[in-house]
Structure formats: structure tokens, C-alpha cells
Amino acid sequence: MGALSERLTRSPPALWLDTHAYGAHLLTNDVAPWLDVAAHTAWQRKLQGLLKSDVLSLPLAEVVAAWLIQNAALKVAMAAKTRQVFPLKTLLADEALRRHLAELAHALRQGLAGLPFALVLPSPRAWIALAYAQAHGSAVEVDDDAADSAALYIADFLQGFAEVGIDGLLLREASDYAPTSAQDFACYQSLLNVAAHFRWDMGLHLSHPVDTLSEGWAFAVAPQSIPQRPTAIETPSTFWRGVAHSAGVFRYAAIPADANPEAVLERLVALRKDNHS
């Protein structure tokens, strides 16, 4: 069991907060400083001081989206071919992007030492679709072969974080897709292998309930508990307006960008009281 799983499963239950959209709205006029390493670290330190998540995280998709706005040539290169996986393959091979992400993660790890640290990234299926839309402006159907290929490219890309000191990965599955078979999970085996090699805890964030996860997944965030896996029942946005919510083994909550700051602090106090009761 790694540092991330250990914190998620011990008492009191962990409170893992996704503060990025809220923090951008609250502190940086809705423009998160993804492209400036020093400013990003300072911003994250302010957010942690205010909100005190039990897990530190870096959402790669958000950083990549900001990078593509400033790097039009990469976006053009991604659109050079229409094969399903080509935009993602081209994106992940960009050395400047890889260096920036590693520097961002390293600075965050050094600036907020002591917390378990996870990279949050789209699943292979979700990232194919996202990169294709970024390159071509249209959707694409993602089959098993494409997902398997994408997992290989992502696994290679993740090796660039080997020396950063991360503790885990959280893969966000596509919102319209839920794994239902062994083959669905087999497509992601390359990522499970690289996580096992570096002793990173691997989690899956699902929008739809599933009955089970294959071997190798350490935890999940899902609409309902998954047998034999520590699961957080994702906190709905209505929670921040006062609606009660079931937690699961640990709590995972994205704070809405437009949430009222006073209400956020009040709800966090309530969460922490529940955790210690």
C-alpha cells in the first residue's frame, strides 16, 4: 500500500478536494496559472492554506488545454492526420510540454511536501476523444484497439514523472462510458503496469456505477461503492448549497467555480466534523 492509499483508507477519512476551478475563480480571475511554474506553486499553496485538502493533485488535462492555447504549432501538428490516436500521440510526444509538466509537478511536490500527491489525467479512451476534439474540432468514436494504443503512449509519457515523487494516478473515465467487461480493463493494462513499476497507487474516476474493478486498481471515485475497492462517492455540486451527501470510504469533492466562499468554508467545517464523528 502506497502513501496515497494509506491516507485514503485510514481514519479519519481523507478529504480529497479538487479546488482548481474554484481557486481560479477566487484568486486569479478565472485564469489558473498553469503555464508559470512559480505562480502555479504559489497559487496552490494559497489554496491549500485556505481549504486544506488531504491530497495534493495536478490535473494534466487542464494544463494541456492552456498549453495548446499558447502553442498553436502543436495543435496544427496534432491535426495533420485523422487517425483516432494520432492527435494524442503527437501531443504526448511534445518534449517542451513534457518538460513543463514535469517541472510543474516537481515544484508542486517540493512546495507542498508532506501530502500524498496524485496526477489526475483522462483515461486512454477519454484522452483520445479530448485530443481529437482539440485538434479537429469534432468527436471521434474510440474502439478497444485505439484505447490500447493510447495506453501505451500514456504509459511512456508518465515515465517522465518517475523522479518527481508522486504517489498515485487518478484516471478520469469518459463521462459517457463505463467499463463493463474484462476487455475494457485490459485496454488500460499498460498504465497499470507502469503504476506498479513505480509503486504508484492507481485509481479510476467513473461517472457510471460498475460492479467490479480488475486487479491493479487501488481505489475509485464513483456514483456508488465498488466491492473490495476503497471508494469515494463523488460529492455533487448541490452539497455546497447545503444538501446532505453520503461519503464512502473517503471523500472526493470538486468545489464549483461559482461556489460562495463563506458557504464553502462552512461546508468544509461540516465535512470535517462528520469525518471525526
> At 254, is the secondary structure helix, strand, or coil?
strand
Please give the angle made by the CA atoms of 186, 188 and 192, to the nearest 5 degrees: 105
Please tell me the pTM assigned to this model: 0.95
Report pLDDT for 276.
Answer: 58
Q: What are phi and psi of 67, to 5 degrees?
A: -60, -45
Q: Determine the pLDDT at residue 235.
A: 84
Parallel/antiparallel/unpaired status of strands 56-59 and 117-122: parallel
Q: How high is the pLDDT of residue 277?
A: 55
Q: Cell numbers at residue 234, please?
A: 463523488
Which pLDDT score is estimated for 80?
A: 98
Mean pLDDT of successive 10-residue segments in the chain (277 residues)?
A: 87 92 96 98 97 97 98 98 97 98 98 96 97 97 95 97 96 87 85 96 92 89 90 86 78 93 91 69
Sheet holding 231-233, edge to edge: 56-59, 117-122, 168-172, 201-205, 219-222, 231-233
What's the confidence (pLDDT) of residue 249?
86
Partners of 59 in beta bridges: 120
CA distance 34 to 13: 30
Predicted pLDDT at 275: 62
Grid cell 498504465 in the structure block, residue: 191
Alpha-carbon dihedral angle through residues 195, 126, 54, 192, given to the nearest 10 degrees: -10
In the chain, where does DSSP find H-type helix? Answer: 3-9, 20-27, 37-51, 60-70, 72-78, 86-92, 95-111, 124-136, 144-158, 182-186, 189-198, 261-276
Instruction: Report pLDDT for 79.
Output: 98
What is the pLDDT at residue 254?
94
Full set of structural domains in the chain with CATH: 3-276 (3.20.20.210)
